[in-house]
Structure 1
Amino acid sequence: MINQIKKVTLAPMEGVADELMRNLLCSINCYDLCITEFVRVVDRRVPTHIFHKISPELKRGGFTHNNTPTRVQLLGQEPHWMAENAIKAIELGSHGVDLNFGCPAKTVNKSKGGAVLLKTPETIYQIVNSVKQALPQDQILSAKIRLGFDDASLLDEIVSAITSANANQLTIHARTKRDGYNPPAYWHHIGKISEKYAIELFANGEIWSLSDAKKCIKEAKTANIMLGRGALAMPNLANVVKGKEDKMPWSSVNKLFQHYAYLELQGDKSFYFSSRLKQWLRYLKLQYPQAETLFNAIKLLKNKDDILKQLERIE
C-alpha cells in the first residue's frame, strides 16, 4: 500500500499560476516540477517571444529562481505542429514537454483543443506519437487528461492511446469535463489505471490538505500528485503533504501576500493589480478566515496606494 508522497508537481493553472506565482510558491516549497500555462499551437511554429512570455524561466535554463525545473505545456490538435513546437520548447530550454488534453474552457474546446480531444482517443494517439518521435530520447513527454468528456467510459481507451504512443508520464485530473471543478474528485478511477498500466502516474484534483493527499494516493494507487487550487489556498501545501512542515500560520501568509502585492506592482500585469490580489484572496479564504477580512477591506478599492495601505493595516 502506498502511504507516502514521492513527487509533487505544481499544476498549470491558466491565468493564475504565472511566472510570478510559480516563483513565489516554489520559493517556499520543495516542488519537483512546475508545468507552465499552455502555449496554444495552431498551424505553425509559435514565435519565441510567446514561449518567453508564458515561460520566462526559459531564459534561465528552464528553472524558477530557486532552481525548480519547469516544463512547457502545449495545447493543440494538429500532430505535426504539436511536434514542431515541442522541438522548439526543448530547444528553448524546457525540461520535457507536457500535452494538454484536459482544459475545459469552452473557447479552447470549440477550436478542437483541450478536453474535447478526450472524445477521440485516436487523435490523442496521433498527437502523442508525433511529439514523442520528434523529441530527443532523453526528454520526458507527459500528458494531462481528465477522466473523460461527459463520463469516464473512454478512460481506458484514452490511457491506452497515450501509453501506446510511449509517453513517459501521465497526470489524471480525477473529474470529467462535464464535472468541471465541482467536488468530489473520483480518485478510484486513477487507481484502476495504475493497476493496469506501467506509465508514471500523477493524481490531481481536490487535494486541499495532508489528509486529502493521503486519501488520494491510497485510492489512486500512486505516490505522485499534482497540486492546483489547493496550492493557492494553502501556500505551503507541497511541503505539508511531503511531511516537511505544518500548515503555514496566517501571520506568515499575510507577509507572503504583501510581498506578492509588491511583486505584482513591479510585474508586466500591474494593470490588473486589484483583480490579481482579489483572485488569490478568494483561494486563501478557503483555508484562512482572516483572508475574508482582508478581501472585504480591499474588494471595492481600485487605487493601488489605497490597497497597499489596507494590506499594511490588517495583520
Structure 2
Amino acid sequence: MTTNETQIALAPMEGVVDHLMRDMLTSLGGFDLCVTEFVRVVDMLLPPRVFYRLCPELYHQGRTPAGVPVRVQLLGQDPQCLAENAARAVELGSHGVDLNFGCPAKTVNKSKGGAVLLKETDTLYQIVHAVRQSVPAGQPVTAKMRLGFEDKSLAIDNALALEAGGASLITIHARTKVEGYNPPAYWDWIARIKQQVKVPLVANGEIWSAEDARQCQLQSNCQAIMLGRGALSLPNLASVIKHQHQPMRWDEVRALLTRYSGYEIYGDKGKYYPNRIKQWLGYLKRQYHQADSLFNQIRAMQSSEQIVDALR
C-alpha cells in the first residue's frame, strides 16, 4: 500500500466484519486489502481450524471472492507465542500478518491485549521484533495502533518502537483508547508521527464520505486510508472515494441485504445471521433513513427465512 493512488484497506472490526461482510464489501470494488477480526493468542500455538474459522479465505489463496487479499490479525501480549502463530497464519495463506495494538474493549485490555499495550513501548517493540523474525522476509508484518491509551504522550515513541521492531506499515486510528469512537479523529497527529517514522502509515478513523477521506489525507499527510464504520454505513464508500462512483441508492443496498442475509447463499445458520443483519442496519441508519423503519420491521424476527421474506 505505497503507490501514489489512494490505497484503501477494510478495517478489522471484531464481531462485525466477518468473511461474509468482507465478501460483500469487496464485491463493490475500491478495496486493496482486508484485515480480519483478531485471532486471540494467549499461551499456545493455535490449531489451523482457528485461523480457518475467522478467515475462510485461507481456503482460497487468502483472497475474497472478488480477489482482494486478506491479512490475518493477531492480538496478544506474549512475543514468542505471537511469533509462532504469525508464522502459522502465513503458512496457511495469510498475506502477511497484522498485530493489534488498538482494540479498546475492556475485556481485551484487562487481559493485557490491544490498546492497553500502548502504555508499554518496549513491549510493542519486543512483540513486533519477535514476529518479524518468525515471518518470511517476503511477507509483511504490519501493526495497528491508536494514538495512546489515556493520552497521546507516547504516540510518536510507540510508532518508532513498531518501526524499530520491523513493522513494514503502521495503521493509526487517530484517537486514544479513552476517546473511543467519539468525534473528532485527530488526523493531524498522524502527520506528526509521519515526520518521525519512515515506514508507510495508513490513516484510520471518522471517514464517512469522500470529503472526509480527502480531509483525512490532507491533515494526516497520508495517501493510504482504512475504512471501518463508514463502509458499513455506505457499502460502496471505497469506490465513491477511489473511483468517484455515486453513493448506492437504498434499493441497491436493500438488494445487498437480501443477497448477503446468510440464507440464500450460505444456508440458515440459526440466529447468527439474523443478528448480523440487524447489526448492519444499525450502521446503515446513518446514511439511509429507510434502514430505521426496516430494522423496526424485522427486529423481533429470529430466522433468516423470515428476514429474507421481509427484505423481498
**TM band (smaller chain):** over 0.9
Aligned to 1:277: 277
Aligned-partner SS, 1:164: helix
Aligned-partner SS, 2:260: helix
TM-score w.r.t. the length of structure 2 is 0.96
Structure 2 matches for 1:205-220, cutoff 5 A?
A: 205-220=205-220
Answer whether contact 2:125 2:165 (CA < 8 A) is retained.
yes
The residue identity in structure 2 corresponding to 1:274 is P
Aligned to 1:249: 249
Residue 303 of structure 1: how far off its partner (Å): 4.5
Aligned to 2:182: 182
Q: Which runs of 5+ in 1 are unaligned?
A: none
Answer whether contact 1:5 1:225 (CA < 8 A) is retained.
no
Structure 2 matches for 1:54-203, cutoff 5 A?
A: 54-203=54-203
Aligned to 1:238: 238
CA pair 138-273 structure 1, distance change in 2 beyond 3 A = closer
Q: Deviations over 1:39-79 (max 9, x none)?
A: 11111111110000000111111111111100000001000
CA pair 72-303 structure 1, distance change in 2 beyond 3 A = closer
Aligned residues: 309
**Mean CA deviation greater in 88-97 or 244-253:** 244-253
Q: Does 1:295 align with 2:285?
A: no
Answer whether contact 1:5 1:241 (CA < 8 A) is retained.
no
Aligned-partner SS, 1:296: helix
Residue 272 of structure 1: how far off its partner (Å): 2.1
Aligned-partner SS, 1:261: coil
The residue identity in structure 1 corresponding to 2:112 is K
Residue 195 of structure 1: how far off its partner (Å): 2.0
**Mean CA deviation greater in 272-281 or 65-74:** 272-281
Q: Which runs of 5+ in 2 are unaligned?
A: none
* In structure 2, distance between residues paired with 1:69 and 1:44: 26
TM-score w.r.t. the length of structure 1 is 0.95
Residue 178 of structure 1: how far off its partner (Å): 0.4
Residue 251 of structure 1: how far off its partner (Å): 1.4
Q: Deviations over 1:107-142 (max 9, x none)?
A: 111111111100001000000011111111111110
Answer whether contact 2:101 2:114 (CA < 8 A) is retained.
yes
Residue 262 of structure 1: how far off its partner (Å): 4.3
Residue 263 of structure 1: how far off its partner (Å): 4.4
Aligned to 1:50: 50
Answer whether contact 2:86 2:135 (CA < 8 A) is retained.
yes
* In structure 1, distance between residues paired with 2:110 and 2:36: 22
